[in-house]
Chain A
């Protein structure tokens, strides 16, 4: 069942990628309505797949690397769809869709037997903690792309060459506003994630905090984004600087996520097998 749902979701993500690409390349209105619909369908199917797997595991399915990537991709799509209701970010669909495809693909390929959760993780805290952290990451991920678009639009305007592509992007001011909003929400979510992790550790194992590569890097990232947020609010780091820093911040996040999961074990998520 899960495999079916996942395969269908993958197919739809692929369709969304193609449709999104076509919408960008040509300016047809017909393809433009297709992609969001397809993405929503894929999102729901993907949710079903994750849900089914979670039911089989007995808790949220985020222990293996592949499962985490899949969950992250799913959240990314979800946030994108939510943001799309408010802002004109349709250009991103050609980017989000392939990412979601790759993310979910890993889960399908790595479809090993459902892993039994290590006893330490069998807790209702798991979904809370993981969801908040990953949600924060996904929002930062989206902010990363918005920042890229900002820089693209900015470069076009500065160089005084107007392509028709850039014309369909939101204005710089809008992009900046979106960026700020994402930054704020991502930071809140990440903070809640870390807090829930701390509380959980305290309640379950009696230790508030244990330093392992993941907590280390998450702290680094948290500080980075805190600085960025502070800079925006007080000094007025808007526009280009904020965009660049957001990109850097997410870069660190991304690399650390991969790195930690590949390289080092620990009490923490990542490699449980």
Chain B
């Protein structure tokens, strides 16, 4: 018996796995950035510390046995395990509204409902960041893990949801490693940083110079600091402002008239100055490059109108990008991300199908294996008992007995198993699941097995 999956999980029974007595169903009710404006999402969102308790409160909805709450800047969703046949969607929507003193009508147009296999697929998509505003973003997985953990801790999430969520983490990992959906910049400042990495190997001994105090420039500077750049020089027409920003970045302020003298120290120069006219041109740079012994310089022009003379791009070892260039870099990546996202979607569909097969008991393998195992166990026990009582037994005779008992068991099983397999082929796997469950009860297969999709006992 192979025990797949983490140790905390209860043993799975064959013929219906976690749909214990097959009387439960999965539901997701929620709102996301596609369906709902941010003003409404803000109202409905839950803080981190509220998640656990909120999930517990969901359990008060009739027929709900397990629940989780997911609240991020992109979505608010409730996922539950409910009794089969219970129509909990409406109640769950009301729950969300009530939590925030809103009327159900207020959210009615924005909420969506997923059920059964669709719910599984949605969960997998969300965890893999395929449903995020920025597809491929890395935060969502951590958020899902954390918030599931909170629901589990508070006792709201149980073994069924645990199995679903843990599978979703694995699927997310698979999507991230098998597709290129993550890891490509789609914002201007991260595009800028990515370009910096293509020029410079190690930012740890590089210096950036921030000219001006525009928001984009500050963002890029912050990004560079996060990526490990050694220091930032800040210069501004208003020296006070430069000092202020320098303090923010733990850098050095420089009076604006004197910044050209410091250019030779800067490897990355961010231009975020308002006002007209180029503040750096080719003539400035000849000396600077010589002083730098031709080490490359990267100029990022975030000003509109532009701060840097485009002619400097023609100089050897000088690279100049302005806002349009950065946007088109980010756009290129977006298109690529979308292509990769489609591959990710395909993975999610495949995994969801497979998971659903097993989860809903349509995967009969555990049952078949358990049944075979049980009968074979009986066969062997009886064979041993018989052999023990026989006075003398030639090996050939023993073999004959083996063969006979095996043949008997196989023939007995043949009919039922073929019938089971045929049932499984049918579109409505319900009867197969029913049959498997019945068999499992009739033959008392419950207690012996552990199974997981993909790890055959």
Contacts and interface: CB of A to CB of B under 8 A. Distances in A.
A236 B329 contact: no
A236 B295 contact: yes
Given A160-B325, A162-B332, A172-B296, A238 B317 contact: yes
A173 B201 contact: yes
Interface string B315-331: 01101010001001100
A240 B313 CA distance: 14
Given A27-B180, A157-B199, A240-B316, A173 B296 contact: yes
B169 interface: no
A222 interface: no
A268 interface: no
Contact of B294 (A157, A167, A236): A236
Interface residues on B, range: 20 to 34
A55 B295 CA distance: 50
B198 A153 contact: yes
Contact of B201 (A27, A177, A235, A238): A177
A171 B198 contact: yes
B411 interface: no
A188 B213 CA distance: 50
A244 to B, nearest CB: 10
Given A157-B319, A160-B325, A173 B199 contact: yes
B200 interface: yes
Given A160-B325, A239-B294, A171 B313 contact: no
A153 to B, nearest CB: 7
B126 interface: no
A171 B316 contact: no
B296 A239 contact: yes
B195 interface: yes
Contacts of A235: 293
A239 B317 contact: yes
Interface string A217-244: 0000000000000000001111111000
A172 B295 CA distance: 11
Interface in B279-332: 292-296, 313, 316-317, 319, 321, 325, 328-329, 332
A170 interface: yes
B199 A171 contact: yes
A85 interface: no
A236 to B, nearest CB: 3
B293 A171 contact: no
Contacts of B292: 236
B319 A158 contact: yes
B80 to A, nearest CB: 38
A241 B317 CA distance: 9
A231 to B, nearest CB: 10
Contacts of B244: none
B201 A174 contact: yes
Interface of A: 27, 153, 157-158, 160, 162, 164, 166-167, 169-174, 177, 235-241
Which A-B residue pairs are the 10 nearest by beta carbons?
Answer: A236-B293, A173-B201, A174-B201, A160-B325, A171-B201, A239-B317, A238-B294, A236-B294, A172-B199, A173-B200
Interface of B: 180, 195, 197-202, 292-296, 313, 316-317, 319, 321, 325, 328-329, 332, 336
Given A157-B195, A160-B325, A237-B294, 13 more contacts: A27-B180, A153-B198, A157-B198, A157-B199, A158-B313, A158-B319, A162-B195, A162-B332, A173-B296, A236-B293, A239-B294, A240-B316, A240-B317
